[in-house]
Structure 1
C-alpha cells in the first residue's frame, strides 16, 4: 500500500534542499572586498535590481579594519548581473577608486565570491568574502 504522507515529505525536503543550494550559489548578500592598492576594503550589498542583480557600497574600512569616510559609500559598483549557463553571473563592475567600468564575471563558491574583470585584454581577479 502506498502512503502519500512520506512521499509528500520527501518531495518537500528535496524542494527545500534545492532552494537552499540555489540561494547559496547566488551572489546576493553582503560581501567584503579584498583590499585595494591603498588598503581600502568595501562592504558591497548585492540584491535584485529589476530582472538582474546589482551591488552598492555600504561601508568603507581602512587597512586596520576601522570605518573610514569615503566617497564610494553609496555608489553602485555592479549592475546588469545576469545568470549564465555555467552558473556564473556576468555584468558590469566599476572599481570604486578608479571609477572605470569593465565587464565582470562572478561565481559563488561557498562563502567566497570570485570576480574576474577584464579591460582591453588585461584581466584582474579578486576574491570577496560573504559577510551575510
Structure 2
C-alpha cells in the first residue's frame, strides 16, 4: 500500500461529551465535508464543504507519510469504538475500509492539525488529546 492509494478519509473527533465532528475528505475528487453530529449520528448545525487544491492533497499525503500513518494499528474492520475517547480514522484504499485510533494521542493530535491545514478551517477540540 502507498499513501497515494488512499481514496477517502473520515476523521471523527470529539467536540464535547455529547457531540462529534465528522470530517470526510475525498482525496481523489479533492473535496471535503465537515458535519457536527450528536452521538447517535443526527446532524446538528450547518455543514461545511469545499474543494481542496491538488498541491494541498500532495502535502497532506506527505504529512501522512511523515506520521507513518499506514503503520498505525488497525481496529477490527467495521468496528468503531462505542466510547470515543478522542478521535478515530476510517480510510479507504482500493475499496478496502480500514479503521484506526492511532498509535497514541500525540499522533492523533498531529493528524487533526494536518487535516485542519488541509481544509483551511479549525474544528473539534484538542482537550481530549491531553
Classify the TM-score, shorter chain.
0.3 to 0.5
Greater Rg over alpha carbons, structure = 1
Which one has a larger percent helix, Structure 1 or Structure 2?
2
Q: TM-score, normalised by structure 2?
A: 0.38
Structure with the greater relative contact order (CA < 8 A, sep ≥ 6): 1 or 2?
A: 2
